[in-house]
Amino acid sequence: MTRFGAGAVGQRVVVKALTWHGTRDVRVTDLPDPAIEAPTDAIVQITSTAICGSDLHLYEVMGPFLDEGFVLGHEPMGIVQEVGSEVTGLQPGDRVVVPFNISCGSCWMCGQGLQSQCETTQVRDQDPGYGASLFGFGRQYGNVPGGQAEYLRVPQAQYGPIKVPEGPPDDRFLFLSDVLPTAWQAVQYADIPPGGSVAVLGLGPIGDMATRIAQHLGAGTVIGIDLVPERLERARDHGVDVIDLTRTDDVVAMAQEATGGRGPDAVIDAVGMEAHGSPSGKVAQKLAGLLPDALQEKLMEHAGVDRLGALHLAIDLVRRGGTINLTGVYGGMADPMPMMTMFDKQVRLTMGQANVRRWTDDILPLLDDADPLGVDGFATHHLPLAEGPDAYATFQDKGDGMIKTVLRP
Ligand SMILES: NC(=O)c1ccc[n+]([C@@H]2O[C@H](COP(=O)([O-])OP(=O)(O)OC[C@H]3O[C@@H](n4cnc5c(N)ncnc54)[C@H](O)[C@@H]3O)[C@@H](O)[C@H]2O)c1
Ligand SMILES: [Zn+2]
Ligand SMILES: [Zn+2]
């Protein structure tokens, strides 16, 4: 089969990709063109690929799970170039978004709507085992090269890629790869009663989108909490009651005041393990970064080095009998939890990686010209792939008003 708009198959060309080389060290690298390896693979030429808060965990603290030169990125879309013999639903030339989970669509877990636990791609060669393989997440998640690259090999392409129509710009659909289904799942799993209240911790792309989806699906009170001025501003602009962590020392009282004295029915933690506000955790994480790789990995897996500031705040915020959803990623194995408070408050806790394909059919009809979720103006930066390393540094420092960056290979 001939490559769509490119040279013949087998003609080895060099492609550019963003690769990991150490803590805070991302580079633009030339790599061999990816090729079909299994009959369920496709090759996609990437037209847009976003940087995610999860990439910052890899950039900053998850180094122990990455090999030098690993290709990052899990939020890509583009044009199908080639398909393996078992990929019947796609053709060269199709415009597709690639979900960050790699799932088969036919195993027991996929049948339950638990695509991020897919039994075909689960990672069993690590101790402990992990859920479904993910693009661009290192050894923990299958070591599958990621999508911040000119070309991407997509495993399980008979199920994963989402075909989208020609016409609207890439940004209309790109966030189906992660932000939209992740925020959608957060809201679903937060189980907000009709007209009820939700507090969203962290107004990065995930938290911001969760506030929009909660509003769209009928929450009565939507509170957004962060400490970065432009992120608070952006949420305020679409009707969220924002709380600036730097301007209050009693965020729990403020949230109670906004919710009839009880606290919100639901809390979504869209921060994760790098919460600001817990200096001891920061020291422990930096310490992990100074140890030899094998020790770092053990420390991350077995010691409580995470910064749990946001999680503890979520537990304090939620009303008695309410639901917390952890969508922000946590990575430690022995972190202290306030079990007495959680038990006494009768907290319900939901969490996990988004099951992307479970939600995309519900979301796709909202990506029309009316744009109710505001995806068209969602990205703050569009940059060439070659500027990726600088974009990682700026995003990590929350500089230049950067909230969401889309790279164009
Ligand atoms: N579960 C999933 O499938 C999934 C998918 C995508 C992203 N994520 C995770 O979601 C989280 C958010 O992703 P993002 O892209 O929006 O990242 P981000 O880093 O842009 O956003 C995090 C936000 O949290 C704020 N913050 C930090 N400490 C806080 C605190 N103590 N209280 C309130 N806010 C605080 C930061 O200022 C920032 O605005 C990350 O942990 C990411 O790994 C999970
Ligand atoms: Zn992501
Ligand atoms: Zn599966």
Q: What is the pLDDT of residue 297?
A: 57
User: Is 69 domain-assigned?
Assistant: yes
Residue with CA closest to ligand 1 atom 36: 202
- 227 shares a domain with 158: no
For residue 12, the model assigns a pLDDT of 55
| Residues lower than pLDDT 70 in the chain | 1-12, 274-307
What pLDDT score does 302 carry? 39
Q: Is the CB of 161 under 6 A from ligand 1?
A: no
> Is the Cβ atom of 231 under 6 angstroms away from ligand 1?
yes
Span from the CA of 272 to the centroid of ligand 1 (angstroms):
6
The verdict on residue 108 lying in a domain is yes
Instruction: Verify whether ligand 1 is closer than 6 Å to residue 202 (CB atom).
Output: yes
> What pLDDT, on a 0 to 100 scale, did the predictor assign at position 7?
46
Could you tell me if residue 161 is inside a domain? yes
Query: Which residue among 57, 226, 353 is best mutated to probe the pocket of ligand 1, counting the most ligand atoms within 8 A of its Cβ?
Result: 226
Q: Does residue 5 fall inside a structural domain? A: no
Q: Residues 183, 215: contact at Cβ < 8 Å?
A: no
CATH at residue 101: 3.90.180.10
Nearest ligand 1 atom, CA 329: 41
Ligand 1 centroid distance, CA of 39 (Å):
36
Same domain, 94 and 114: yes
Euclidean distance between CA atoms 345 and 207, whole angstroms: 24
Task: Identify the domain boundary among 351, 374, 396.
Answer: 351
Beta-carbon neighbours within 5 Å of ion ligand 2 = 52, 54, 178
Q: Are residues 296 and 200 in the same domain?
A: yes
Going from the Cα of 102 to the center of ligand 3, the distance in angstroms, rounded, reads 8
Residue 313 domain boundaries: 180-351
Q: Which of 351, 370, 395 is the last residue of a domain?
A: 351
The pLDDT of residue 281? 46
